[in-house]
Structure 1
Amino acid sequence: MARKDDHEELAAEAAAGKGHPTPKRKERESAQRRALIADPKAGAKERRQRLKEQRAKEQQAMLSGDERHMPAEHKGPVRRYLRDSIDARTSLGEFALPGSILFVIASLFFNTNPNVGSLIIFGFYALVFAAIGDTLWAMRSIKKRVTEKFGAENLGRGWRLYSAARIMNLRRLRVPRPVVKRGEYPV
């Protein structure tokens, strides 16, 4: 008999209606929404502090050569091998920036004589093209050594730009700092 009573109650409720309009989706979502962080300002401050500590740890790792805390683009045995191979050699790209500064200064002093000015410009272009050629040759030989040691599939993306940027940079300004001396090629 309890079943008959329940059925009658449901029928009575259906006839009477539910007593209120169906809430809009926007109203239901806003009722369920709650802040993920109790105090957004404190949460943002904490996030900034964590990021600051993380960046400081990464910067220290870049200066010391500690690979555990380096950013992802510098981690791994292949990247270490690339860095060590580049740092072991002397490249013309290292001298392109100081050379260009010297060429600008020389062109300021010798701008009255067109023959000397054109010779300076020719010398600058010769240095730039020689540095580009040296960079391409170095990248080709480094790629060959890396693929012999790790395989072509482990070379990864972006290695060309990574290598070229490191080759063209002054050794003192390279980050992560060089850990090998000139001539100490990795095995």
Structure 2
Amino acid sequence: MSDNNTPETETPDVDATGTAKKGRPTPKRKDQEAARRRPVIADTKADKKAQRDRQRVQREKEFQAMREGDERNMPLEHRGPERRFLRDYVDARTAPGEFLLPMSIVFVIASLAVPASSWAGFALIILFYVIVIGVAIDTWLMVRRMKKQFIAKFGAKRIPRGWTFYVIARHLNVRRFRAPKPVVKRGEFPV
């Protein structure tokens, strides 16, 4: 029934029950297990060293991106337009929060010089608490204003997770030491 030009397909062997045979012997179990077997622990020292080197290179790349403001190579927690908006809003403000750490160092040194039992020592402590409370109120007001502007721009569903701590930590840090590096000047609030 076939032409001389068309190749004939091979028909699989059929056993007595009428089922097709697979045409090769079943492999032995020990051969199959040996083929799948891998060492449980490879060269751990070399693997750990290679992993540390990869992580070091990645951290250096991310650190460089944070210094330069290259958002593509920053760590994930700093990427995206939402995080950029939050950073730019904080960086555009001149707030007492960024001067809290240097002021607290000055207060510690001054408290060592002035005895706490004197009226000057008492006034120094009260002044420090007033500044801390003022910074706390300013931070609270900033977070409320920022949330309103963020929702107006991006919507309530796009608020990043942990954004409040992110903003407060950046707000209380000295501008020069903030990471990622500020890219807006003071007064240039994001629109």
- TM-score bin (small chain): 0.7 to 0.9
Matched, 1:59 2:63: yes
Cα distance in 1 between the residues matched to 2:84 and 2:40 = 40
Counterpart AA for 2:179: V
Residues 111 and 33 of structure 1: CA distance in aligned 2, closer, same or farther (over 3 Å): farther
CA distance in 2, matches of 1:94, 1:148: 26
- Per the normalisation by structure 2, the TM-score is 0.79
AA aligned to 1:162 is Y
Matched, 1:115 2:115: no
Q: Who is 2:103 aligned against?
A: 99
**Matches of 1:144 and 1:51 in 2, distance apart?**
38
Are 1:90 and 2:99 matched, yes or no? no
Aligned pair count reads 164
Instruction: Name the CA shift for 1:139/1:37 in 2 (closer, same or farther; >3 Å).
Output: same
Residue aligning to 1:144: 148
Quote the residue 1:165 is aligned against: 169
Question: In structure 1, what is the equivalent of residue 136 of structure 2?
Answer: 132
The offset of 1:42, in angstroms, is 2.2
Work out whether residues 37 and 43 of structure 1, in 8 Å CA contact, stay in contact via their aligned partners in 2: no
Q: Which runs of 5+ in 2 are unaligned?
A: 1-14, 18-32
Residue 49 of structure 2, aligned match among 45, 48, 58: 45
The aligned counterpart of 2:181 is 177
TM (normalized to structure 1)?
Answer: 0.80
Counterparts of 2:171 and 2:127 in 1: how far apart (Å)? 21
Q: Which range is displaced more, 73-82 or 91-100?
A: 91-100
Instruction: Report deviation, 1:113.
Output: 5.4
In 2, are the aligned partners of 1:94 and 1:171 still within 8 Å (CA)?
yes
The equivalent residue for 1:13 is: none
In structure 2, relative to structure 1, the CA distance for the partners of 1:36 and 1:63 (3 Å cut) is farther
Between the aligned partners of 1:32 and 1:101, the Cα distance in structure 2 is 63
Read off the aligned partner of 1:132 and give its amino acid letter.
Answer: A
Q: How many Å apart are 1:92 and its aligned residue?
A: 1.1
